[in-house]
Amino acid sequence: MKLPYAEPYKIKVVEPLYRSTQTEREQWIKEAHYNLFNLKSSQVFIDCLTDSGTGAMSDRQWAEMMVGDESYAGSRSFDKLKETVRRITGYEYFLPTHQGRAAENVLFSVLVKEGDIVPGNSHFDTTKGHIEFRKASAVDCTIDEAFDTAVYHPFKGNVDLEKLEKVFKKYPKEKIPFIVVTVTCNTAGGQPVSMENIKATSALCKQYGIPLYFDAARFAENAYFIKKREEAYADKTIKEIALEMFSYGDGMTMSAKKDGLVNMGGFIALNSHDIFKKASVFNIMFEGFITYGGMNGRDMGALAVGLDEATEFDYLESRVEQVAYLGQRLEYFKVPVQHPYGGHAIFIDANKFVPTIPKEEFRAWSLAMELYITSGIRGVEIGTILADRDPITRKNRFPELELVRLAIPRRTYTNHHMDYIAVALKNIFDTRTEAKHGYRIIEEAPIMRHFTVKMEKI
Ligand SMILES: *Cc1c(COP(=O)(O)O)cnc(C)c1O
């Protein structure tokens, strides 16, 4: 008999979870005005709100916390991290920042000016925010398949080269400071970008003289998908794949809260000495001196180890296949999920799940509520509440997709937790025709309303 899969780690430290009752949760969520962001973490049993900064560190990373060098300038921990970043990315220059959006803020302060165009594959919201804040525009050049949940494509995060070339032809070179390739593409559901596509995108950029930067938050998960789905890379190591991937770009911004396997941190890595020097000035202004940039010495040490661990095949296999395991369990129960599964999350299709709830009553939000109340699981709505109102008409924008995202923290939950999530959703799915009532808004902020919106049951 073939031996079944088992995680390549054992657990040394545990954090107890409180198993609340449905009566308790009904009271808590009412007090939280039916907004999952308002819950205390102690009121949540399995937390799938985000995979950002919520993972578990290894014993080696914790050991680094003890030997961290907290010197203001020239910290040993900085040298360790710098050496690791150079070895894994191949980029010569490096600046630490306190998280991913801070790296964007520093780099874009150098590169982006009013009226610029920054093409990319479905920019992450903070990336887009930092572009638009500078009165520039982000142009989405993702392939069309990314927006069709039913169609299978192994690399739904790919850049559409025709769309990209159109942008290059339409605007003068001076207006396009760079393009951003996000690996994996978070906005498209954690979907990977192929090496072939990265290579071709890079060639097109070179032809037009436009630099290419990676938004590399999940670069290791992307490398894993390349190894599994692109034949030429089946025998390469994750580190070899990552290094080749980065060789097609000019630099990167990183949220270390994802594939850095730490709870807080970020950085910029790049090849240009000139841009590094300019970015250093902004780093000192916004983040801190260039040898710590908003991070503790001990945190830089833990990140150095985290980057090494995140680029090992065994870790990535346990990570990405755990997400897929949840997807497979849900499909076994006929629960409608998005295809193919992303690297860090499973998306439940609420339009197919609860079509009986009118879209005006926030389908995906309602489903996320039901999931919490019945089982203590916290997901997040990616639907009408998140899509916000039209800034001109102030009417609700109804996106094509109403999703509940279940993001899986790294090395944190076991497959028993995945089984629990799958059965909780199956139970709701089996009684879905009874769910006819949604929610209405009683109070909301003028922008980014999902974090603070107050709702009531209809
Ligand atoms: C999380 C994330 C960011 C922003 O990083 P923070 O560390 O949250 O500031 C940028 N891009 C992508 C793709 C991300 O997932």
Helix (H) or strand (E) holding 193: none
Which residue, judged by its Cα, is nearest atom 11 of ligand 1? 124
Where do we find the tokens 């107050």?
454
* DSSP E strand stretches across 98-250: 117-120, 137-140, 179-182, 212-215
pLDDT tens string 302-346: 999 999 999 999 999 999 999 999 999 999 999 999 889 999 999
Q: Is 215 part of the annotated catalytic residue set?
A: yes
- Residue 266, ligand 1, Cβ within 6 A: yes
DSSP string, 253-320: EEETTTTT-SSS-EEEEES-HHHHHHHHHHHHHHT--TTTTT--HHHHHHHHHHHHHHTSHHHHHHHH
Task: Give the pLDDT score at 356.
Answer: 87
Which one of the listed residues 47, 215, 259, 349 is annotated catalytic? 215
pLDDT tens string 183-203: 999 887 889 999 999 999 999
Q: How far is the CA of 430 from the centre of ligand 1 (A)?
A: 36
Mean pLDDT of 276-285: 98
Q: How far is the CA of 100 from the centre of ligand 1 (A)?
A: 5
Q: Is 429 part of the annotated catalytic residue set?
A: no
Residue 401 has pLDDT above 90, yes or no: no
- Residue 201, ligand 1, Cβ within 6 A: no
Q: Is 430 part of the annotated catalytic residue set?
A: no
Q: Is 30 part of the annotated catalytic residue set?
A: no
Task: Give the pLDDT score at 45.
Answer: 98
- Residue 101, ligand 1, Cβ within 6 A: yes
Mean pLDDT of 399-421: 95
Task: Give the pLDDT score at 189.
Answer: 83
Q: Is 299 part of the annotated catalytic residue set?
A: no
Which one of the listed residues 103, 138, 188, 217 is annotated catalytic? 217
Whether 390 contacts 451, CB under 8 Å: no
Task: Give the pLDDT score at 434.
Answer: 76
Task: Give the pLDDT score at 251.
Answer: 98
Which residue, judged by its Cα, is nearest atom 1 of ligand 1? 255
- Residue 182, ligand 1, Cβ within 6 A: yes
Q: How far is the CA of 360 from the centre of ligand 1 (A)?
A: 30
Under CATH, which number does the domain 22-51+313-457 receive? Answer: 3.90.1150.10
Q: How high is the mean pLDDT of the chain?
A: 95
Q: Helices 22-31 and 363-375: crossing angle, nearest 10°?
A: 140
Q: How far is the CA of 116 from the centre of ligand 1 (A)?
A: 22
Using the atom order of ligand 1, give the atom closest to the CA of residue 102.
Answer: 9
Q: How far is the CA of 108 from the centre of ligand 1 (A)?
A: 14
Q: Which residues pair with 180 in a beta bridge?
A: 120, 213
- Residue 118, ligand 1, Cβ within 6 A: no
Confidence class for position 374, pLDDT limits 50, 70, 90? very high
Whether 55 contacts 411, CB under 8 Å: yes
Q: How far is the CA of 432 from the centre of ligand 1 (A)?
A: 34
What residue segments make up the domains of the chain, in order of their start?
Answer: 22-51+313-457, 59-310
pLDDT tens string 35-91: 999 999 999 999 999 999 999 999 999 999 999 999 999 999 999 999 999 999 999
Residue 250 has pLDDT above 90, yes or no: yes
Residue 436 has pLDDT above 80, yes or no: no
pLDDT tens string 167-177: 999 999 999 99
Residue 387 has pLDDT above 90, yes or no: no
- pTM (predicted TM-score): 0.95
Q: How far is the CA of 324 from the centre of ligand 1 (A)?
A: 22
Q: Helices 415-430 and 363-375: crossing angle, nearest 10°?
A: 120
C-alpha 297/C-alpha 324 separation (Å) is 35
Whether 182 contacts 124, CB under 8 Å: yes
Which one of the listed residues 258, 339, 344, 417 is annotated catalytic? 258
pLDDT tens string 106-125: 999 999 999 999 999 999 98
- Residue 97, ligand 1, Cβ within 6 A: no
Using the atom order of ligand 1, give the atom closest to the CA of residue 186.
Answer: 13
**Domain 59-310 falls in which CATH fold?**
Aspartate Aminotransferase; domain 2 (3.40.640)
Q: Is 80 part of the annotated catalytic residue set?
A: no
Q: What percent of the chain clears pLDDT 70, i.e. is strictly above it?
A: 100
Confidence class for position 435, pLDDT limits 50, 70, 90? low
Mean pLDDT of 380-409: 90
Using the atom order of ligand 1, give the atom closest to the CA of residue 99.
Answer: 7
Residue 354 has pLDDT above 90, yes or no: no
C-alpha 36/C-alpha 450 separation (Å) is 9
